[in-house]
Structure 1
């Protein structure tokens, strides 16, 4: 049985400890206010992207509507591998600006085309809308590969936090033939289990970045109002079988409530014969790799780029 650990006992990375009091806490009981805060923070952090060309497009959804995507292309010749990237934000926050810098870093560093998805958000659009939007984006990417100069043999999916849940769910769907196949899933601090019953979930109740109460609120906002069966399309950990999933890399923070569900999912993938890489960073909290003013944040991003380059060479 895990006992909740007070924030004061965490042995945080020194640079993260120095900024931990400045890390914003999103009140998911106030979705509108949290969205406004997230937009302001994203606007403050955006940097010029040397060596990367971006283009915003509207693509078709299965229901006849349109979906926004942003395409990032590095200054590299020929047909390139591609990463379908799904932003974080607890299923209720975020848009194309949320992880704009990260997408540009991936495009330039891994020499790949990155397609970021502006999926529809809960609670206005509950599960499985976001999942369906991400699948639609992957289908479009594959269909337009020649126009986008993408090598269809080298397509990966990635996501951060709630985006990691969607990336893992899309990866499971890609096994069936109706959804284009994938060669890799890049899962960064991923949300994976709606049951929120792991040891780390019980232990980290007031950690900066993310905590148990926020996690519970997130799942309520995402799933309430849905008439769909709650299965692996919502929470990948609910899958009865993960065999045949694409190779995976999981990026984990030591003091993240999501930590143990990540390890549990990684163990299931490995037991099913899926190639898995795991990296946990000591003294870190949920979303730490977004704080690129810290050495550990920079190192994690560089490691993710190296993992993508390795995957695309396979």
Structure 2
């Protein structure tokens, strides 16, 4: 049977086939109004504080990295409790549309990576828009990657096995940092883990144009995010903000891409993947049927757990040397 579609060629909200467990919890998923940012940030902090249970087998410490703008960049360093030799490192950038999020919002994910991959995870509390528009978030993330490489010995980490990763806007930052790290003076990266990544400020792909009513993330959210993040940008926007604008992706770190079916960001991820393949960059692409933006955060669902299992496997494989 053919699924009916709208005049734009995309299924309407009532016609999309969601994973049954995601469909069941969809009505319970909180919506953040980026137009009411102070309220959304408060709501997010309250949600993060509810029922938080630390994961056994992982410890963390908080620290700060000096930023190039004279700012201090808060970080949280996770590591498995068991004594191991020098560990690989994942520098992780949270999601939140460049406007929300912090060290409090993706703790469980970071703990899972540290425990199951057997790696150090350095989570970055980069500066947020609109108070700190581009390039503040990018420079904070790059500064932390450089600090991790310089501080590997004291971290008990292996400088030759550094990866970057991020979810949504954090995926944009990971991709931009990976592109920048092709410069000779910067750390070599072994992998970039891009989860439902934001990649293209033009928001002109088929999915970006037509997914106006999808759960969690919509076209209007996407446009408001870019408007806020790029508010003070003078001249042309470049890949440090919007990775898809890069002229050449050759020699970027091996990549794994995680894509939701019903997501405005879906098609820009596929376009970026095609460029990586054409440039012979090692690449794995993972799309999950019936999913929406950020679905892997809902680990009470089987498909959310499967996505996390796949991410763990991707990192384990990337760190084998």
Shift, 1:49, TM fit: 1.5
1:70 aligns with 2:76: yes
Task: Report Cα offsets for 1:153-210 as digits up to 9, x if no partner.
Answer: 1110000000000000000000012321101000000000000011111221100111
Distance 1:57 1:31, change over 3 A: same
Asked if residue 258 in structure 1 is aligned to residue 265 in structure 2, the reply is: yes
1:187 is matched with which residue?
194
Name the structure 2 match of 1:5.
11
Look up the match of 2:138.
131
User: How far 1:5 sits from its partner (Å)?
Assistant: 3.3
**Cα distance, 1:43 vs structure 2:** 1.6
Give 2:52's match in structure 1, choosing from 46, 61, 78.
46
2:282 match: 275
Aligned-residue offset at 1:229: 4.0
User: RCO higher in 1 or 2 (8 Å CA, sep ≥ 6)?
Assistant: 1
Report SS of the residue matched to 2:212.
coil
Which one of the candidate residues 4, 13, 37 is aligned to 1:31?
Answer: 37
Q: Which runs of 4+ in 1 moved over 4 A?
A: none
Unmatched tracts of structure 1, length 5 or more: none
1:87 and 2:94 matched: yes
Give the one of 98, 105, 123 matched to 1:116: 123
In the alignment, the residues of structure 2 paired with residue 2 and residue 152 of structure 1 have an alpha-carbon distance, to the nearest angstrom, of: 49
**What secondary structure, in the 3-state scheme, does the structure 2 residue paired with 1:7 have?**
coil
Q: CA deviation at 1:228?
A: 6.3
Name 2:106's counterpart in structure 1.
99
1:199 has 2:206 as partner: yes
Counterpart-to-counterpart distance in 1, 2:234 and 2:36: 24
What TM-score do you get using the length of structure 2 for normalisation?
0.95
What residue number does 2:4 align with? none
CA distance in 1, matches of 2:119, 2:98: 26
Counterparts of 1:160 and 1:281 in 2: how far apart (Å)? 15
| 3-12 or 201-210, which deviates more | 3-12
Residue in 2 aligned with 1:14? 20
Change (3 A) 1:75 1:299: same
Distance 2:157 2:122 in 1: 11
State the Cα distance separating 1:301 from its structure 2 match: 0.5
Name the CA shift for 1:101/1:45 in 2 (closer, same or farther; >3 Å).
farther
Q: 1:4 Cα shift?
A: 4.8
Note if contact 1:255-1:285 (Cα within 8 Å) is conserved in structure 2.
yes
For residues 216-274 of structure 1, what are the alpha-carbon distances to aligned partners after superposition, in whole Å with 9 as ceiling and x for unaligned? 01000100123364100001000000101000000011111111100100110110110
- Secondary structure at 2:75 match in 1: strand
Name the residue aligned to 1:300.
Answer: 307
Higher mean alpha-carbon deviation, 93-102 vs 45-54, is at 45-54
Tell me what 2:61 maps to: 55
Aligned with 1:245 (options 252, 262, 269) = 252
CA distance in 2, matches of 1:301, 1:48: 18
Q: Decide which moves more: 23-32 or 134-143.
A: 23-32
